[in-house]
A and B are shown apart, each in its own frame.
Chain A
Amino acid sequence: MVENRPWLTFFAHAILIVGVILVAFPLWVTFVASTLTYDQIIHVPMPLVPGDQLLENYSQVLRAGSQKGSAAPVGTMLLNSFIMAMGVAIGKIGISILSAFAIIYFRFPLRNIFFWMIFVTLMLPIEVRIIPTFKVAADLNLLDSYAGLILPIIASATATFLFRQFFLTIPDELAEAARMDGAGPMRFFWDVILPLSKTNMAALFVILFILGWNEYLWPLLITSQESMYTVVIGIKRMIAGGDATTEWNLVMATAMLALLPPALVVVLMQKWFVKGLVETEK
Chain B
Amino acid sequence: MAEIRLQDVRKSYTKGVPVIHGVTTTIADGEFIVIVGPSGCGKSTLLRMIAGLETITTGEISIAGRVVNEVEPKDRNIAMVFQNYALYPHMTVYENMSYGLRIRRMPREEIRSRVERAAKILELSSLLERRPRELSGGQRQRVAMGRAIVREPAAFLFDEPLSNLDAKLRVQMRLEIQKLHRSLRTTSIFVTHDQVEAMTLADRMIVMNAGRAEQIGAPIEVYDKPESLFVGGFIGSPAMNFLPARRVGDDADLGGGVRVPIPPALRAAAPQMLTLGVRPEHLVAGESSGSPVLRFQVENVEALGADSLLHGIFEGHAVVARVDGHDTPPSGANLAFALPPERAHFFDSSTGRRVRPAAG
On A, residues with C-beta under 8 Å from B are 171, 173-174, 176-183, 187, 191-192, 195-196, 281-282
- B130-155 vs A, CB cutoff 8 Å, 1 = contact: the mask equals 00010000000000000100000000
Contacts of A173 in B (CB 8 A): 82-84, 86
**Contact, CB under 8 Å: B74 / A180:** yes
Known contacts A187-B103, A191-B99; decide if A181 and B86 are in contact (CB<8 Å): no
Contacts of B99 in A (CB 8 A): 178, 181, 183, 191
Interface centre among B78, B80, B86, by most chain A C-beta atoms within 10 angstroms, is: B86
Q: With a CB–CB cut-off of 8 A, which chain B residues contact A195? A: 90
A176, A183, A281, A282: the one contacting B103 at CB < 8 Å is A183
B84 near A171: Cβ-Cβ < 8 Å: yes
B88 lies within 8 A of chain A by Cβ: yes
Q: In the complex, which residues 69-94 of chain B have their Cβ closer than 8 Å to any Cβ of chain A?
A: 72-74, 78-80, 82-84, 86-90
Report yes or no: B74 in contact with A174, Cβ–Cβ below 8 A. no
Instruction: Classify chain B's interface size.
Output: 20 to 34
The answer for the CA separation of A179 and B87 in the assembled complex, in Å, is 13
Write the B272-287 contact mask toward A (1 if CB under 8 angstroms, else 0): 0000000000000000
CB of A181 within 8 A of CB of B90, answer: no
On whether A176 and B90 interact (CB within 8 A), knowing A181-B103, A183-B103, A191-B99, the answer reads no
Find out whether the CB atom of A180 lies under 8 angstroms from the CB atom of B88.
Answer: no
With A and B bound together, what is the CA distance between A178 and B73 in angstroms? 10
CB distance B86 to A171 under 8 Å? yes
- Shortest CB distance B257–A (Å): 57
A230 CB to nearest chain B CB (Å): 37
Check A174–B90 contact: CB distance below 8 A. no
Look across to chain B and name the residue whose beta carbon is closest to the beta carbon of A198: B90
How near does chain B come to A126, taking the closest CB pair, in angstroms? 35
Q: What per-residue 1/0 map shows which CB atoms of B37-60 lie under 8 Å from chain A?
A: 000000000000001110000000
| Residue in contact with A180 in the complex, picked from B79, B84, B133, CB distance below 8 Å | B79
Interface flags, B97-116, vs A, CB<8A=1, else 0: 00110011000000000000
Whole-angstrom distance from the CB of A170 to the nearest CB of chain B? 9
- Beyond A177-B80, A181-B74, 10 additional contacts (C-beta under 8 Å) are A173-B83, A176-B53, A176-B82, A177-B82, A178-B99, A179-B73, A180-B51, A180-B53, A180-B74, A183-B74
Q: Inside 8 A of A177's CB, which chain B residues have their CB?
A: 80, 82, 86-88, 147
Interchain residue pairs with CB less than 8 A apart (18): A171-B84, A171-B86, A176-B73, A176-B80, A177-B80, A177-B86, A177-B87, A179-B74, A180-B74, A181-B103, A182-B74, A182-B100, A182-B103, A187-B103, A192-B88, A195-B90, A281-B133, A282-B89
Q: A180-B51, A180-B100, A182-B100 are in contact. Are A174 and B86 (CB under 8 A)?
A: yes
CB-CB under 8 A from A282, the residues of chain B are 89
| In the bound complex, CA of A179 to CA of B88 (Å) | 13
Q: Name A's interface SS.
A: helix
Given A171-B84, A180-B74, residue A281 in contact with residue B104 (CB < 8 A): no
A281 to B80, CA, bound (A): 23
- Quick check: A179 and B53 within 8 Å, CB to CB? yes
Q: Which residues of A contact B133 (CB under 8 A)?
A: 281
Which residues of the partner chain B approach A176 to less than 8 Å between Cβ atoms?
51, 53, 73, 80, 82, 86
Contacts of A171 in B (CB 8 A): 84, 86
Question: In the bound complex, how far is the Cα of B83 from the Cα of A195, in angstroms?
Answer: 23
A128 CA / B200 CA spacing, docked (Å): 68
A230 CA / B83 CA spacing, docked (Å): 54
Of chain B, the residue at the smallest CB distance from A187 is B103
Using CB atoms, name the residue of chain B closest to A192. B88
Q: Which residues of B contact A196 (CB under 8 A)?
A: 89-90
Give Cα A171–Cα B100 distance, bound, in whole angstroms: 19
Residues of chain A lying within 8 A (CB to CB) of residue B87: 177
Using Cβ atoms and an 8 Å threshold, which residues of chain B touch A174?
86, 88
Contacts of B89 in A (CB 8 A): 196, 281-282
